Amino acid sequence: MLFWVPVAGFSLLLIYNTIPYFSFERNFSFIEERSLLFESSMYNLCFYIHIAAGALCIGTALIQFSRYLMKKSTALHRFSGKIYVFVVLFLGAPTGLYMSFFAKGSFLERALFMFMAGWWFITTLYGLSTIHKRNVIAHKVWMMRSYAMAMTAVSFRVYHIIFYLLDWGHLENYELSLWISVVGNMLFAEWIIWKQSRNYLKSFSI
């Protein structure tokens, strides 16, 4: 509860904050900073697809990792999982990769965004292929990694607020928040996988 309550809260807050963008007005700081990019119809299309895909992925992922819902309705788990996989593979990751070439920051930040899009795609694809092979354990492992990438959108904003309150400069705040959210989420996912694997192995030794 100590983990999932804030995760769910921040996830729903992110989804809520995404909705105003679909007024298609231009008075948002993200859009104003990239006004020249938004002159491109391709960038416009990718941006709106990407934020809608991100919100949908984060929302469906909350259903995916709910043990209560998994026990109550396997059909709901499968249905939401299909939505998540489709959105990541065909909408979220491809548009994220395109937008990464125009990301703010240095080449390293753009490269990090490229990595995020690629790793999100790969982990989700492996999650799909392993469940088709009925390898449930491997499926859970790869979907945890996929979810860690999806949640960078949430963790980035949390770190960004913290560093803003600490009076960090805008660009330094942006770059540090980005790196910590990506690397931190990946390490946290691997820690959970390791911990659950150890508990799983212990159950056989008892």
DSSP assignment string, 123-184: HHHHHHHHHHTT-HHHHHHHHHHHHHHHTHHHHHHHHHHHHHHTT--HHHHHHHHHHHHHHH
Asked whether residue 200 is domain-assigned, the answer is no
Instruction: Specify which of 68-82, 108-122, 186-200 reaches the highest per-range mean pLDDT.
Output: 108-122
For the ranges 3-7, 29-33, 69-73, 102-106, which has the lowest average pLDDT? Answer: 69-73
How far is Cα 108 from Cα 146, in angstroms, rounded to an integer?
22
DSSP state of 40: S
Tokens coding 76: 């709901």
Banded pLDDT at 206 (limits 50, 70, 90): low
pTM > 0.85: yes or no: yes
How far is Cα 51 from Cα 30, in angstroms, rounded to an integer?
12
Q: How many domains does the chain have?
A: 1
49's CB contacts (< 8 A; 6+ apart) are 91, 95
Residues of the domain holding 173: 4-195
How far is Cα 31 from Cα 144, in angstroms, rounded to an integer?
31
Banded pLDDT at 194 (limits 50, 70, 90): very high
How far is Cα 44 from Cα 38, in angstroms, rounded to an integer?
6
Asked whether residue 150 is domain-assigned, the answer is yes
Tokens 């659950």, residue? 196
* pLDDT recorded at residue 63: 80
Nearest to 154 by CA among 20, 35, 61, 49: 61
Asked whether residue 61 is domain-assigned, the answer is yes
Asked whether residue 55 is domain-assigned, the answer is yes
Helix (H) or strand (E) holding 51: helix 41-64
Asked whether residue 202 is domain-assigned, the answer is no
Asked whether residue 204 is domain-assigned, the answer is no
Asked whether residue 36 is domain-assigned, the answer is yes
- For the chain, what percent of residues have pLDDT higher than 90? 73
**Cβ–Cβ under 8 Å, residues 155 and 181:** yes
For the residues 13-23, what does the mean pLDDT come to?
Answer: 92
For the residues 116-140, what does the mean pLDDT come to?
Answer: 96
* Residue 204 scores a pLDDT above 80: no
Would you list the DSSP string of 60-124?
Answer: HHHHHT-HHHHHH-HHHHHHHHHHHHHHIIIIIHHHHHHHHTT-SS-HHHHHHHHHHHHHHHHHH
Asked whether residue 205 is domain-assigned, the answer is no
State the amino acid at position 6 in one-letter form. Answer: P
**Cβ–Cβ under 8 Å, residues 77 and 38:** no
The total number of residues shown for the chain amounts to 206
For the residues 169-183, what does the mean pLDDT come to?
Answer: 94
